[in-house]
Chains A and B, each alone.
Chain A
């Protein structure tokens, strides 16, 4: 069964601290893995996209890692800010030839940053 599991379910950290969110998946065959940020009441916004050949990708204070062998990914947030408070969603795409195909979503990690 194609699944995406995220941990922790929720996380509270103090402003300025770092944190790491985890994603494990069983989607096969694997095409790419994406991390999205979803603010309350808004649609998800893309942070990173990684294929199986990419181990790490950064977007400002966000750094995603991927281990395609163990089917694990992490999202590291550095020097957190209040605006980082959101749900972070891991999304895995199954290989369907040359097209985007269907995406499998994790339930997200709800991050709260306190001042």
Chain B
């Protein structure tokens, strides 16, 4: 596609439910990132996929959070047993064809998650 696509754009869920967020990166991009942005806060790194390498999961805040990516295509971020503090915008970004240091990072518009 022309850009990074995320779905849904908005998700309202009840506390304790599981949610799944989807990211379609730019075709051919090998690097994919997930970030969380709470209201009025900066972006928090969650997880990073680079090609077929083991993902960098060091930013995941708890074991309720997990993410998968099949090859160099779609990624899903799953939050189990959602809590109110999980309410935030979840942003996905992808880059280049080799993860080179000067590559531009392209962001999706995010998924606004609201946990009631």
Seen from chain A, the residues whose Cβ lies within 8 Å of a Cβ on chain B are 31-32, 34, 41-46, 49, 51, 89, 93, 95, 98-108
Q: Is the CB of A101 within 8 A of B101?
A: yes
Q: Is the CB of B42 within 8 A of A99?
A: no
Query: For residue B6, which residue of chain A has the nearest CB?
Result: A43
Query: Given A43-B93, A44-B107, are A99 and B4 also a contact pair (CB < 8 Å)?
Result: no
Q: Is the CB of B42 within 8 A of A89?
A: yes
Q: Which of A41, A51, A100 contacts B99 (CB 8 A)?
A: A100
Cβ-based interface call for B70 (8 A): no
**9 additional contacts, CB 8 Å, given A99-B99, A100-B50?**
A32-B101, A42-B109, A43-B108, A89-B42, A98-B101, A99-B101, A100-B103, A101-B101, A104-B45
Total residues of chain B contacting the partner, CB 8 A = 30
Q: Is the CB of B91 within 8 A of A43?
A: yes
Q: Is the CB of A93 within 8 A of B101?
A: yes
Cβ-based interface call for B110 (8 A): yes
CA distance A105 to B109 in the complex (A): 17
Q: Is the CB of B95 within 8 A of A100?
A: yes
Q: Write the B33-77 contact mask toward A (1 if CB under 8 angstroms, else 0).
A: 101000001111100101000001010000000000000000000
Query: For residue A107, which residue of chain B has the nearest CB?
Result: B42
Q: Is the CB of B102 within 8 A of A32?
A: yes
- Nearest CB of chain A from residue B2's CB, rounded to whole Å: 14
Q: Is the CB of B42 within 8 A of A105?
A: yes
- Nearest CB of chain A from residue B96's CB, rounded to whole Å: 7
Which residues of chain B (89-116) have a CB below 8 Å from chain A?
91, 93, 95-96, 98-110
CA distance A111 to B108 in the complex (A): 22
Cβ-based interface call for B31 (8 A): yes
Residue numbers in B under 8 Å from A98 (CB-CB): 98-101
Q: Is the CB of B104 within 8 A of A49?
A: yes
Q: Which of B45, B93, B95, B102 contacts A102 (CB 8 A)?
A: B45
Q: Is the CB of A46 within 8 A of B105?
A: yes
